[in-house]
């Protein structure tokens, strides 16, 4: 199955009220595990690489090309997405490399500046056939729009989409980034209200902090693209810790990274079932 456009995965899911799993890639093992989990579930999937991950690797090209290669060899549809990008130079690099979509994050700006910056990125990306997600934020970017208590207004969300031309919108409905516990409570009525007001797919960030039943309910109420990163890192790290604890002499990185990869594969397959992705 060749690499596919992000919209070709997300748009049918909106129509069918299915969730789409969008999982963050940090190492090659993440990309391999995510695709293996999607293949087991028989579901499409989105591989995401964040600006923070790019910073970790020092450049987009090595991890980006690795993820592209994994996606192109998959037996299920796989899209590649550049996540939480604040740099327009990185947007351009991702487009040139072959990413099918980008989440441009200008949520740290005030509303008018966010609209202006996002609309400019949308115009450039659409000229290249690239799908754009944005975030309607308050103050502080990732730690603001999805901080506890932050909420997106449906009317403002509709106006933002109309003014920018974005293809998907990340909204604040009760989740928060980097949660290690799964006890965030989503405002399901607000999700439904935003879904009625906004003509593009909705994206849930901070999904690692949301329990399975609440994730499934969010999809039923109108959420489509479900971003998950920290939860998979917890599974990966727990498996590595167990492997190293059980063998004090273990030095072969393939052994413990392989255990982490297997744990992520299992969890991706399970979560795609929760989201109704297949």
Q: Which of 108, 90, 107 is nearest to 99 (CA)?
A: 90
- Run of H or E residues at 36: helix 28-41
pLDDT confidence tier of residue 173, bands split at 50, 70 and 90: confident
Give the pLDDT of residue 34. Answer: 98
**For residue 169, which phi and psi values (nearest 5 degrees)?**
-135, 125
Lowest average pLDDT, out of 20-24, 28-32, 108-112, 145-149, goes to 145-149
83 has which bridge partners? Answer: 50
Give the pLDDT of residue 140. Answer: 31
Three-class secondary structure of residue 265 per DSSP: helix
pLDDT in tens, 95-129: 999 999 999 999 888 889 999 999 999 999 999 99
Instruction: Read off the tokens for 185.
Output: 């409570």
Assess whether 83 carries a catalytic annotation.
yes
pLDDT in tens, 231-275: 999 999 999 999 999 999 999 999 999 999 999 999 999 999 999
Pick the catalytic residue from 83, 143, 212, 247.
Answer: 83
Single pTM value for the model: 0.92
Whether the CA torsion 262, 64, 25, 241 is positive or negative: it is: positive
Q: Are 196 and 231 in contact (CB under 8 A)?
A: no
Burial of 53 per CB tally in 10 Å (0-12, 13-18, 19+)? buried
Annotate 181-248 with three-state secondary structure: CCCCCCCHHHHHHHHHHCCCCEEECCHHHCCHHHHHHHHHCCEEEEEECHHHHHHHHHHHHHHHHHCC
Higher pLDDT, 143 or 184: 184
Instruction: Read off the tokens for 42.
Output: 């028989």
Domains by residue range for the chain, with CATH: 6-274 (3.20.20.70)
Q: Are 103 and 84 in contact (CB under 8 A)?
A: yes
Looking at every residue in the chain, the average pLDDT score rounds to: 91
């Amino acid at each position: 199955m060749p690499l596919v456009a992000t919209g070709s995965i997300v748009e049918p899911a909106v129509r069918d009220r299915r969730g789409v799993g969008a999982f963050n890639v940090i190492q090659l093992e993440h990309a391999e595990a995510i695709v293996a989990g999607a293949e087991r579930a028989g579901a499409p999937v989105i591989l995401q690489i964040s600006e923070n991950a790019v910073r970790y690797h020092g450049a987009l090209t090595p991890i980006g090309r690795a993820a592209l290669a994994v996606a192109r060899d998959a037996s299920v549809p796989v899209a590649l997405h550049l996540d939480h990008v604040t740099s327009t130079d990185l947007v351009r690099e991702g487009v040139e490399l072959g990413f099918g979509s980008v989440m441009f994050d200008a949520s740290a700006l005030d509303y008018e500046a966010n609209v202006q910056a996002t609309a400019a990125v949308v115009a450039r990306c659409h000229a290249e056939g690239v799908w754009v997600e944005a975030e309607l934020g308050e103050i502080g970017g990732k730690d603001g729009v999805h901080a506890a208590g932050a909420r997106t207004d449906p009317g403002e969300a509709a106006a933002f989409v109309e003014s920018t031309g974005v293809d998907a919108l990340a909204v604040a409905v009760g989740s928060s980034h980097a949660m290690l516990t799964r006890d965030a409570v989503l405002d399901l009525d607000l999700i439904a209200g935003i879904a009625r007001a906004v003509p593009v797919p909705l994206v849930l960030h901070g999904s690692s902090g949301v329990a399975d039943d609440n994730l499934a309910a969010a999809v039923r109420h109108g959420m489509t693209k479900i971003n998950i990163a920290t939860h998979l890192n917890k599974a990966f790290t727990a498996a590595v810790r167990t492997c190293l604890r059980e063998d004090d002499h273990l030095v072969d990185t393939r052994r413990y990274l392989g255990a982490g990869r297997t744990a992520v594969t299992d969890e991706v397959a399970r979560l795609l079932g929760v989201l109704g992705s297949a």
